[in-house]
Chains A and B, each alone.
Chain A
Amino acid sequence: AQSVSQHNHHVILSEAASLELGCNYSYGGTVNLFWYVQYPGQHLQLLLKYFSGDPLVKGIKGFEAEFIKSKFSFNLRKPSVQWSDTAEYFCAVRGTGFQKLVFGTGTRLLVSP
């Protein structure tokens, strides 16, 4: 069965700092990978996804993620964060051809102005 680890539970940054959130997954086959964001009091929204092709994926709001197959990782990055990026970020994995989407425990990001 697939699983996801997000090692950073809480991250605090100042505006304009660079962001990298770690995500490692465990699964023996090919995968689809996702990052979702949950702004305070809101529902989960898709930031970006990787299915195949270019391992560097660009999403909304300046976010990107890189799939490194050899490391089973899909880290999320943003060169310069804004106060409005304060949210909880979830990495998720799904075995290709399967439906069950498994989430990590999330990383709470606080960006101070």
Chain B
Amino acid sequence: DAGVIQSPRHEVTEMGQEVTLRCKPISGHNSLFWYRQTMMRGLELLIYFNNNVPIDDSGMPEDRFSAKMPNASFSTLKIQPSEPRDSAVYFCASTLLSGANVLTFGAGSRLTVL
């Protein structure tokens, strides 16, 4: 298995632009998480999905952030409009609900907003 696949690995954009981060979970996993990692706040859970349905989005910082999971093999995290304080590494992780429920993380998307 190729693991959790995230794209892009690096993105540099200007303030005000729309950013879309993508995640492909491990095949067969039915739970997907989006985390944000910054020096100041560490790893923060933004949102997670079970069976493509958003369960808890209380970590999404504000309305500029949105996440979707249109099917079991794809999720997006969108920031519109982006701001410099959104600069961070965004990690996607997936797991199988019925098992030990251990998260497997992707390599992350490093976002820099100028």
Q: Chain A interface (Cβ within 8 Å of chain B)?
A: 32, 34, 36, 42-46, 49, 51, 90, 94, 99-106
Instruction: Give the 10 A-B residue pairs with the shortest CB-CB distance, closest first.
Output: A105-B42, A103-B43, A44-B105, A43-B105, A43-B107, A106-B42, A43-B108, A46-B102, A43-B106, A103-B42
Interface size, chain B (Cβ < 8 Å): 23
Q: Chain B interface (Cβ within 8 Å of chain A)?
A: 31, 33, 35, 41-43, 45, 48, 50, 55-56, 91, 93, 97, 100-108
Residue of A nearest to B104 (CB): A46
A110 CA / B100 CA spacing, docked (Å)? 31
Please tell me if the beta carbons of B102 and A49 are within 8 angstroms of each other in the complex.
Answer: yes
A51 CA / B31 CA spacing, docked (Å)? 19
A47 CA / B74 CA spacing, docked (Å)? 27
Instruction: From B48, B91, B100, B106, give the contact of A100 (CB < 8 A).
Output: B48
Give chain A residues whose Cβ lies under 8 Å from the Cβ of B97: 99
